[in-house]
Structure 1
Amino acid sequence: METPRTTFEGPRPIPFQAPQGDLAILSGTANPLLAQHVATALGVSLTPCRAHIFSEGNVFVRIKENVRGKDAYIIQGCHFPVNDNFMELLFWIDALRRASAQNITAVIPFFSYAQGDKKDEPRVSIRARVCADAIEAAGADRVLTMDLHSPQIQGFFRVPVDHLYGRQVLAQHVRRLQIPDLVVCSPDVGFAKGAAAYANLLGTPVVIGNKQRTDHSETVEVLEVIGDVKDRNVLLVDDLTITGRSLIAMAETLKKRGARDVYAAVTHAVLSKGASERIAQSQIKSMFVTDTIENSFDPLPPNVQVVTVAPLFAEAIRSIHERTSISMLFPDGRPICH
């Protein structure tokens, strides 16, 4: 697996009031680079710890420093390999609880099972609820995550959930590019509110795509584009992409409707096998993603740029630790839900 390139060049440490000894930042194996960048942004060191996978797949975790009475934050995403990473997260939470950490926050940059949020077919599991119960049972006091596929999953937990939005970082990056005649486009009606939030941050109009998916293969058909894109540069936005097919199909449709250049901004770039090659050969001029996912099935294509969300996670951790409001991290002091 290749580690994605990022635009991270070392953030300025955030002014920090609480003693470093009261705080413990731990990294699992899923997001070691992001964890290091978060710790750097906070001006603290990662707590030494070790994870080992035995030959038969058994996961062993150990904290190598005293965390008794500390506020502990374990940074461990649930992306590929999803089940291994999720089980490791549970073991870290359990290890912290047994080591007498005072408060345990599960920092989950990407919660893959958030896609299983409802019983939309007969005899299926609501996987997100099962995972939420497991995280609580392991001993987590709080969850910090980013761009849940369905924000209502926060209600699956009985512990507090702090939900961050990658669009704040991605929109800031796009603003710096000063792309003229820009319009924001959602690839489907499901992300229409998210696209409106992007447009609000960028000060642009919004257009909406209407697509159809007939099964779990992720093969899509774009039926219509609601709005005018002729002679405009278009920014496609979404919370995640797995195969890239939806974005690619929408980009082709936008070009047929007279769009100039098509860009994309996606928080979670899962990019399964073959997705990188498809995106490289697509009509997408540049695609901006975050570093919530570090393991790629294939090397990232040259038209994909990675923007770090480490400073945003660091700010959230600082707010939690100092008992101040996280809502101040959002535009106008409040989150814009999608």
Structure 2
Amino acid sequence: MRDDELVVLGGSASPLLTKEICRILQVPVGEGEVHQFSDGNLFVKIGQNVRGRHVYLVQSTVFPANDHFMELLFWVDALKRASAASVTVIIPYFSYAKGDKKDEPRVSIRARVCAQSIEAAGADRVVTLDLHAPQIQGFFGVPVDDLYGEPVLSDAIAAEKLDDLVIVSPDAGFAKKAKQYAKRLGAPLAIADKERIDHTESARIADLIGDVDGRNAVIVDDFTITAGTLAEVADTLIEKGARSVRAAVTHGVFTEKAMPRLDASAIETLWCTDTVENRPAELSPRVSTVSVAPLFAEAIRRIHNRESLSVLFT
């Protein structure tokens, strides 16, 4: 790899993931600083020469979502003004992906606004992980690589060597991706019928499609914020005769009330990746984190060497 042309720079939302990516690629962590003034304004400064170099900026957009998103834009702008040859934005968790459609009157399609802002700031390419809605790739006019967390999480599930395993999708919308888990793990699939009636981040489980009686169930999803849906589905699975319940989500966002809710639920283990670092509360012992740094490092290596990324999607 032409590491003399490569710079991997981490924003303030993803320092640990950036450090691990750099360790795998055997390159130093890019130099930079972020300062927030007393009025809330953000200031970013690159600490090294990036002229003519290909820069990979790693920044999740959560806790606080708006500050970290604006910081991402400022980094891209600073890098382009510093004459970087290209800027590839690595967004491990794109929080505004939930705003992917106009599903009620007089609302913004927030994901599209964010996509256009990233592009307008000067990003040449975007790499992310398990977008809440794959069609968000079409909101960008630059290439977008939406990587999958399923292989990493499937390996963690497989390591448990659970017999009579059943994979459970928490709603019909995630059924297609849940089927990939089921296929890889050689397990049947069940689907919960979830109904969300407002913006309170809670849902009601109306029914369950599939047989979970006497089986070890694993609920899979792209993210969880309050663990409310996971807890509701877990209760339903126990009522339907499941022997045990576990869960695996790509993005463990976890607000303050998530951990008490998880600890009070029937979920024995919750696997998540390290796309979110600066959560407001300490993780429960039931949470097990697996790293996607090797996945992002391989994507960076392949992009930098002009190799195909298709192998990462199979």
1:25 to 5, 8, 32: 8
Equivalent residue, structure 2, for 1:265 = 248
Once residues 110 and 36 of structure 2 are traced to their aligned partners in structure 1, the CA distance between those partners, rounded to angstroms, is: 25
Matching residue of 2:117: 134
In 2, Cα distance between equivalents of 1:99 and 1:262: 51
Which residue matches 1:7? none
Match status 1:310 vs 2:293: yes
Which residue matches 1:85? 68
Q: Does 1:276 align with 2:294?
A: no
Equivalent position SS for 1:159: coil
Equivalent residue, structure 1, for 2:215? 232
2:2 & 2:232 partners in 1: Cα distance? 51
User: C-alpha distance in 2, partners of 1:87/1:326?
Assistant: 28
Alignment match of 1:95 (pick from 74, 78, 87):
78
Note the C-alpha offset of 1:47. Answer: 1.3
Partner amino acid, structure 2, of 1:232: R
**Cα separation, 1, equivalents of 2:21 and 2:264:** 34
What is the match of residue 302 of structure 2? 319
| Aligned mates of 2:201, 2:33 — CA distance in 1 | 37
1:158 to 138, 141, 144: 141
For the pair 1:208 / 2:166, whether they are aligned, the reply is: no
Name the CA distance, whole Å, in 2 between partners of 1:329 and 1:245.
Answer: 31
Deviations 1:19-60 (A, max 9, x none): 211100001000000000001111111111111111111111
Deviation of residue 164 (structure 1)? Answer: 0.5
SS in structure 1 at match of 2:241: coil
Higher relative contact order (CA 8 A, sep 6+): 1
What is the aligned partner in structure 2 of residue 241 from structure 1? 224
DSSP 3-state at the match of 1:136: helix
Residue among 37, 42, 63 paired with 1:54? 37
Q: Distance in 2 between matches of 1:157 and 1:213?
A: 28
- The CA distance in 2 between the partners of 1:137 and 1:221, in whole Å, is 39
Cα distance in 2 between the residues matched to 1:45 and 1:219? 43
Query: Where does the alignment leave 5 or more consecutive residues of structure 2 unmatched?
Result: none
Please give the alpha-carbon distance, in whole angstroms, between the structure 2 residues aligned to 1:213 and 1:277. 21
1:252 aligns with 2:223: no
String of CA shifts for 1:224-269, please: whole Å, max 9, x gaps: 1101001100010000111111110000010011101101000011
Asked if 1:218 is matched to 2:198, the reply is no
TM-score (norm 1): 0.92
List per-residue Cα deviations over 1:96-129 (Å, max 9, x = no partner): 1011100100100000011101111111111111
Matched, 1:106 2:106: no
- Runs ≥4 residues deviating over 2 A: none
Give the counterpart letter for 1:207 in structure 2. Answer: A
> C-alpha separation between the residues in 2 aligned to 1:220 and 1:113?
19
CA displacement at 1:156 relative to structure 2? 0.3
Displacement of 1:66 in angstroms is 0.5
Q: Which amino acid aligns with 1:309?
A: V
- After superposition, the CA RMSD in angstroms is 0.8
For residue 166 of structure 2, give the secondary structure of its aligned residue in structure 1.
Answer: strand
Q: How far is the alpha carbon of 1:273 from its aligned partner?
A: 2.1
TM-score normalised to structure 2 length: 0.99
* Equivalence for 2:107: 124
Q: Identify the match of residue 20 of structure 2 among 15, 33, 37.
A: 37
CA distance in 1: counterparts of 2:47 and 2:313, whole angstroms: 36
SS class of match (1:177): coil
SS for the counterpart of 1:289 is strand
Report the secondary structure of 2:159's partner residue.
helix
Amino acid at match of 1:246: T
Cα distance in 2 between the residues matched to 1:78 and 1:302? 25
2:281 aligns with 298
Post-superposition shift, 1:76? 0.6
Greater Cα offset, 52-61 or 87-96: 52-61
Matched to 1:236, the amino acid is I
Distance 2:163 2:171 in 1: 24
